[in-house]
Amino acid sequence: MRTAYKFAALPLVLSVLTIAASAQCKNNRGTWTAELANDQSGKLQFRMTCSQGVDSMGHPLSPTELQGLDPAAIHGNHVPVKFALAREAGSLQFEGTFNEGVGYGEFTFTPNQEFLSAMKQMGYPNVADKAFTLACIDVTREYVEELRSLGFHPDLDKVIEARIFNVSREQLNGLKAVGVTDLSLDALVQYRIFNVTPEYVQQMRKAFPGISLDKMTQMRIFHVTPEFGSQMAQLGYPGLNLDQLIAFKVHNVTPDYIQEMAKLGFKNLDADQLVQFRIFNVNASQVEDLAKEGYKDLSAQDLVNFRIHHIDSEFIETAKKAGYSRPTPDELVEFRIMGIRHRTAGL
């Protein structure tokens, strides 16, 4: 039952981005909340909700970007604040209150008409509809020109995607330096989302010669590392292919689980059997439950079949009460599928 795992996260992420990219703040005003980021960066995580148009947009901002905001006010007790965020696409004026690291209030947005005019001349006629988004994520004319100089001619939604994930000349040149060529803008966004860096590419190629970029990205998504492959080899699973290593991570086949199964007598399960065990939740509690009824030497497939058909000690007791003192594993499966008929005494 070998399975090739495809990464499904990217379309979902990009669909969210498309919604954000097409969002409008129709009357250029709304509400904001902010709180200190959890990563100890000192940044404030803002969420702005327009009174009409887009539901909300989140952005991490450094207090130094916010003109007129006293850093001490962030930690104050119900401190009224007024501050601004100036971006090339327009400026946002904030008014509200901070209370012990949490802020809230209202904002207004003023588009920069000169920026909008310049962007229209660059081939973006509907730029005014997305001025608020462009300001929030700091899209500049210089950034658009940089993308074009790299050989890309993206529409405005793609510009927004690229800016959100900081696609840059540095990223593209770094990947090219380690032999990653023919890079589309979508691919660069994907590699940013999943943190496929030049250093990661080199590490994975050294550990897995011939690995493709797609497979490398899948392994990044599921946290499959060379160290994980080494652990599996030490536990008796050398030479697992990439799909098998990914399947182990997807289904949580861990060193502890392998050792648990070995203690139960299953020391020679192959990789596919281990994955199957995990899929159907074969574990020590199941084995102990069945052992109470005298079923101590079941095969790996018996345990899987019992999970599939929901056969446990309670069901076995039901079969016994119907006159079957010790039905075989196959009989138990048949009883579950076909139903238990009462057995006549003496037969």
The last residue of one of the domains, among 149, 164, 179, is 164
Torsion of CA 74, 77, 82, 87, to 10 degrees: 20
How confident is residue 39, by pLDDT bands cut at 50, 70 and 90?
confident
Residue 130 inside a domain? The answer is yes
How confident is residue 7, by pLDDT bands cut at 50, 70 and 90?
very low
Residue 196 inside a domain? The answer is no
What average pLDDT does range 12-25 have in this prediction? 50
Q: How many domains is the chain partitioned into structurally? A: 2
Distance CA 234, CA 255 (A): 10
The last residue of one of the domains, among 106, 138, 164, is 164
For residue 81, what are the CA distances in angstroms to 102, 103, 106?
A: 12, 9, 11
* Per-residue pLDDT reduced to its tens digit, 249-294: 999 999 999 999 999 999 989 999 999 999 999 999 999 999 999 9
For residue 196, what are the CA distances in angstroms to 140, 193, 230, 326?
A: 25, 8, 21, 56
Do strands 57-61 and 29-36 pair parallel, antiparallel, or not at all (unpaired)? unpaired
* Per-residue pLDDT reduced to its tens digit, 224-259: 999 999 999 999 999 899 999 999 999 999 999 999
What average pLDDT does range 173-177 have in this prediction? 97
Number of helices (H) and strands (E) in the chain: give both, helices first: 18, 6
Residue 158 inside a domain? The answer is yes
Host domain of residue 309: 280-338
Residue 347 inside a domain? The answer is no
Residue 253 inside a domain? The answer is no
Check whether 2 has a pLDDT greater than 60.
no
Contact 254/231 with Cβ under 8 angstroms?
Answer: no
Do 284 and 160 reside in the same domain of the chain? no
How confident is residue 13, by pLDDT bands cut at 50, 70 and 90?
very low
**pLDDT value of residue 5:** 53
Sign of the Cα torsion 29, 32, 37, 43 reads: positive
- The better pLDDT of the pair 25, 325 is held by 325
Do 155 and 22 reside in the same domain of the chain? yes
**pLDDT value of residue 9:** 46
Predicted structure pTM score: 0.79
The amino acid occupying position 262 is: A
∠ at Cα 52 (50, 58), nearest 5°? 25
Residue 38 inside a domain? The answer is yes
The last residue of one of the domains, among 125, 146, 164, is 164
**pLDDT value of residue 8:** 46
Residue 315 inside a domain? The answer is yes
How confident is residue 37, by pLDDT bands cut at 50, 70 and 90?
confident
Distance CA 103, CA 101 (A): 7
| Three-state secondary structure call for residue 265 | coil
Residue 179 inside a domain? The answer is no
Check whether 344 has a pLDDT greater than 70.
no
Do 21 and 157 reside in the same domain of the chain? yes
